[in-house]
Amino acid sequence: MSLDGRIVLGMGLHTLSPSRAGDFKSCPQLFKFRAVDRLPEPTTTYQARGTTAHRALQRLFDLPREHRTPEALYDLFRAAWAEVRTTEDYEGLFSSLEEERAWGLESLAILANYFHVEDPSSFDPLERELDLREDLDGMTIRGILDRMEELPDGSLVISDYKTGKAPPEQYALPAFFALKTYALLIRRRTGRTPDRVRLIYLGGPNGPVVYEIPVNDAQLDAMDRQLRALWATIERAMARDEFPPRPGPLCDWCSFRDICPAWAVPDGLGGSPLAEPILDETGAAAD
């Protein structure tokens, strides 16, 4: 890795975040585009909402408990957007003030859902937007944990905000990969094993959804082994410069589809992927 953080082929892996690990798990070619080539991606209004909402929710807990109201959160969102909208990533995101205003009103409606999930005046988090970077015996994992709190029963909980729509529960399990990684890093840093991890989805037509699973040392030991195996696999891919694409339904939302070798179109004909199909656990082609 060079001094600016770019991963350089042949130099080995220095750090790994849950986001980039998830990219490699879903599609090694996507990992290469983002982590090795560092290709720019267009900023979306959904990313703008997520960034701004996270700032507002973080700052909500700076206020005295009695002031943590919906109106206060709305004001914090507006103030955070005033900061974010002038940055290079988000400047010029909207084509008109009317479009920006509609986005803002929709964002405030999504934030209102937060108060149907929990009462922020009833607790004080232990950590917010915690920057984690831990050396796991030769493997450095980094990331930012949204929030961690201790409940009245003494249990330790890691929570992650999502401003989008919740997927069906059976498809939400991959999203817990990052939270289990954070739980592993917390155990390493503090010596204490979190008891639960939670995904708080605020968007969607049916209101907010919270998915929660328990965590124990056996699960975190397994996560440690999984990360080490993934780290070794990524290093082999970097040494060989081999990042095979894995085409699937998510390709429709990928910023790099037009340049991905899986979607190359020979002689200007066709439009189906050229890469091998994704196989399920039995070795059969997945739908």
Q: Is the pLDDT of residue 120 over 60?
A: yes
pLDDT attached to residue 268: 46
Which residues, listed in sequence order, are joined to residue 213 by a DSSP beta bridge?
197
Nearest to 45 by CA among 109, 88, 104: 104
Tokens in use for 19? Answer: 């986001």
pTM: predicted TM-score of the whole model, two decimal places:
0.85
pLDDT at 260 over 90: yes
pLDDT (0 to 100) of residue 277: 38
Supply the pLDDT for residue 264.
72
Q: Which two tokens stand for residue 8?
A: 């350089």
Give pLDDT, residue 168.
87
Share of the chain above pLDDT 90, in %: 77
Q: What is the pLDDT of residues 153-210, one digit of tens each?
A: 999 999 999 999 998 887 888 789 999 999 999 999 999 999 999 999 999 888 899 9
Longest dimension (CA), the chain: 66
Q: What is the pLDDT of residues 28-73, one digit of tens each?
A: 999 999 999 999 999 999 999 999 999 999 999 999 999 999 999 9
**pLDDT class of 281 with cuts at 50, 70, 90:** very low
CB-count burial class (<10 Å; 0-12, 13-18, 19+) for 168: exposed
Mean pLDDT taken over the chain: 88
Phi and psi, residue 271, nearest 5°: -165, 10
Q: Determine the pLDDT at residue 7.
A: 57
Q: Report yes or no: 98 and 151 within 8 Å, Cβ to Cβ.
A: no
Tell me the per-residue pLDDT of 261-277, one tens digit each, with 9 for 90 and over: 998 755 444 444 444 43
Q: Which domains, from first to last, does the chain contain? A: 45-121 (no CATH), 127-228 (3.90.320.10)
CA angle 103, 109, 110 (to 5 degrees): 90
Mean pLDDT is lowest, of 92-96, 213-217, 251-255, for 251-255
Tokens matching residue 124? 């004080």
What per-residue confidence (pLDDT) applies to 12? 64
CA distance 231 to 21: 8
Scanning 61-133, the segments in alpha helix (DSSP H) are: 70-84, 97-112, 114-117
Alpha-carbon distance values, 136 to 15, 23, 127, 133, 143 (Å): 11, 21, 21, 10, 14
Contact 147, 156 (CB under 8 A): no
User: Quick check: 226 pLDDT over 90?
Assistant: yes
pLDDT band, very low/low/confident/very high, at 282 (cuts 50, 70, 90) = very low
> Quick one: pLDDT at residue 8?
52
